[in-house]
Structure 1
Amino acid sequence: MSAKQVGETERAIARDPRRLVGIALMCVAPVFFASLDATGKVLAGAGVDPLLTTFMRYAVNVALVTALINPVTRPGVAHSRRLPLQILRSLLLFGSTACNFLALRSLQLAETISIQFAAPLTVALLAGPLLGEWSSRMRLAAVPAGFVGVLVIVRPDALAAKPAILFSLGAMLCYAVYVIVTRKLAAHDSTATTVFYTGLGGLAVMSPLLPWIWTAPASGTVWALLIAVGLFGTIGHWLLVLAHARAPASLLAPFIYTQILWSVLLGYLLFGDVPSAWTMLGAGIIVASGLAVLSEDALMRRHARRRGPPPRA
């Protein structure tokens, strides 16, 4: 974060101390997301099919969410005004998760998360034609710069040596479109309804495939890791919801990039992985470009608030 951004964050916290709690929650959430990826990589190394890991990710998530949010405790929660979009959103998240677990079989945690961080740049690129949120000149400069960072990581020689990078790119693209669809749904369905449908698509796709991908876990440890995958993902997203209830998204967004620190640390401690100079350079370019896009978003919101609503005719 730049000195200007740090100063603005401090002033925001001074005005509302609850924002400090939101920032703390936003810093903890990436620990769970990095742990989710690390656990998936451990399971892949133990010979567990990544698709089985994906199934458990959604089975545990749906079980926990349904226990709290269901038509009994929240009447009408299953009613969606845009059901096809809810289904599409759920399937996109499933695609992102499955591709990520497939990529983790042979890629370092730092490599996959660095490519994933290009998703906000892709969202900024797609927001114009799909949402009518057209980019400013600063965004138009930041987005291509961020994709240069992706190309630094996904070099021709790296792609030839590690074709699993294609899975990581697929995960990033699925997640970017998932964010776009989520924004569209915000104008039609409640947060509870969207949360209710989030994991159902993945579970619906994976359940019929279970007889072909199921192998009994070799030990209680593998069972615990499979359950942990679902817990880490669910808790991480729950912390995001709590954080955004206490502070605006523009204040919280930069802190999600702390995930790359946890990914590098867990990659080194669990697998002995040391990111290459190319990976760290590419990650730095992507993060800097993402922060530039986020700064532009915050600036545009402040200008809009200062102008106020248009006068009535």
Structure 2
Amino acid sequence: MSAQNIRLGIWLMVATTFVFSVQDGVSRHLAGQYNTYMVVMIRYWFFAAFVIAIAARSNGGLRKAARSRKPLLQAFRALLLVAEICVTVQSFVLLGLTETHAIFISYPLLIAALSGPILGETVGWRRWIAVAIGFVGVLIILQPGLTVFQPAAIIPLIAAFMFALYGLLTRYVARYDSTATSFFWTGTVGAIGITAVGLWFWEPMSGGDWIWMGALCLLAVLGHWLLIKCYEVAEASAVQPFAYLQLVFASSIGIFFFGETLRWNVALGGAVVVLAGLFTLWRTRTKPA
């Protein structure tokens, strides 16, 4: 793979993380005014339309994209992701973008820890040490026993576990289905699932907030489109370290637009988690070599 493609992939990943961070900021604003299920439901309608449009233009069309050798697992993946998004958005409201992302960014470490029992992959002692160090970082953020512990602080950790499980199941179904099939099931089944819940929580939305809602839907589609393009031009292992920039972008939005503060323990713990995650990624890349 050429250096030019890697450079383009890096810039696309930086753009992707920025767009997703802005999306998170808009999600926090809307979920602070309206029910989280309704906000996620409307966002998923647009996401499903995007997924269907992509599938319709691909070779074989919708029928090929919908054909799965693991339909039950694909459906579970899709519902797990939409549930994780609801949990994460609620965490934005309760804890803010900065603290949520500082804890949520531990999900690659959870993937490394769970890849053995779920996928049967070998996890060496160096990566186990990195996982342990990463969770020391999470404990630094949570500060159990040092301050009055907030039960809400567990929410982003639950979201990280859900997203890690989603990522592992995605890798598992990739042994049987194409990426296009997984993407199709993620959008369509996720939209059906959240609609079955979200319609019960429908609230009237002001005209100004419908503009924000439209922006959220466009940002979600743009973010996924950028991510697809990123992985088309560069290998995931080459650009994945730059995904950690989302912590920087989201924290900046939280501080400047929502008046959040960056506490020392969140900054230190987040840095420990990121460094442990980068080491885990490096070991994943170098071990096959």
> Shorter-chain TM-score: what band?
over 0.9
> Aligned residue for 2:229?
242
- Call closer, same or farther: CA 1:62–1:113 in 2, change over 3 Å: same
- Cα gap change, 1:237 to 1:160, in 2 (>3 Å): farther
CA deviations 1:32-63 (Å, max 9, x no partner) are 11111111111133x21111111122111001
Deviates more, 1:173-182 or 1:74-83: 74-83
Corresponding position of 1:92: 80
Alignment of 1:85-234 (within 5 A): 85-156=73-144, 160=148, 162-219=150-207, 221-234=208-221
Question: Taking structure 1 as reference, are residues 158 and 270 closer, same or farther at Cα in structure 2, changes over 3 Å only?
Answer: farther
Write out per-residue CA displacement over residues 252-304 of structure 1, whole angstroms, 9 at most, x where no aligned residue: 11000111111121112211212111110110010000000011011113x2x
Provide the aligned length of Structure 1 versus Structure 2.
287
8 Å contact 2:130–2:276 — kept in the other structure? yes
Aligned counterparts of 1:38 and 1:211: Cα–Cα separation in 2: 23
Match of 1:63 in 2: 49
> What is the alpha-carbon distance in structure 1 between the residues aligned to residue 200 and residue 231 of structure 2?
40
SS class of match (2:66): coil
Task: Answer yes or no: is the 8 Å Cα contact 1:55–1:202 preserved in 2.
Answer: no
In 1, distance between residues paired with 2:260 and 2:185? Answer: 36
DSSP-derived class of the 2:233 partner: coil
The Cα of 1:159 is off from its aligned counterpart by 8.4
8 Å contact 1:142–1:290 — kept in the other structure? yes
Tell me the residue number matched to 1:21: 8
Q: Is the 8 A contact 2:27 2:39 kept in 1?
A: yes
Equivalent residue letter for 1:194: S
Matched, 1:34 2:48: no
- Which structure features the higher share of helix residues? 2
The residue that corresponds to 1:308 in the other structure is none
User: How far apart are the structure 2 equivalents of 1:229 and 1:93?
Assistant: 17
State the match for 2:276 in structure 1: 289
Cα distance, 1:127–1:159 mapped onto 2, change above 3 Å: farther
Corresponding residue of 1:48: 34
Q: Distance in 2 between matches of 1:227 and 1:107?
A: 25
* Structure 1, unpaired ranges of 5+: 1-11, 304-313
Change (3 A) 1:75 1:125: same
SS in 2 for 1:105: helix
Deviation at 1:74, TM superposition (A): 4.3
Tell me, in whole angstroms, the C-alpha distance in 2 between the residues paired with 1:164 and 1:44: 16
SS in 1 for 2:67: coil
Say which SS state the counterpart of residue 135 (structure 1) adopts.
coil
Deviation digits for residues 109-141 of structure 1, max 9, x if unmatched?
A: 111111111100000000011111111121011
Greater CA radius of gyration, 1 or 2?
Answer: 1
Q: Is the 8 A contact 1:56 1:229 kept in 2?
A: no
1:193–1:272 Cα change, 3 Å: same
Q: Which amino acid aligns with 2:195?
A: S
- Structure 2 vs 1, CA of residues 274 and 30 (structure 1 numbering), >3 Å: closer, same or farther? same
Q: Is the 8 A contact 1:33 1:232 kept in 2?
A: yes
- 5+ residue gaps, structure 2: none
Change (3 A) 1:232 1:159: farther
Deviations 1:221-263 (A, max 9, x none): 2112223223222322221221111111211110001111111
Q: Residue 208 of structure 1 aligns to a residue in which SS?
A: helix
- Which of the pair has the greater relative contact order for Cα pairs under 8 Å at 6+ separation? 2
CA displacement at 1:155 relative to structure 2? 2.3
Contact 2:80-2:162 at 8 Å conserved across structures: yes
Question: Considering only aligned residues, what root-mean-square deviation do their CA atoms show, in Å?
Answer: 1.9
Verify: 1:76 aligned to 2:74, yes or no: no
User: What is the TM-score when the length of structure 1 is the normalising length?
Assistant: 0.86
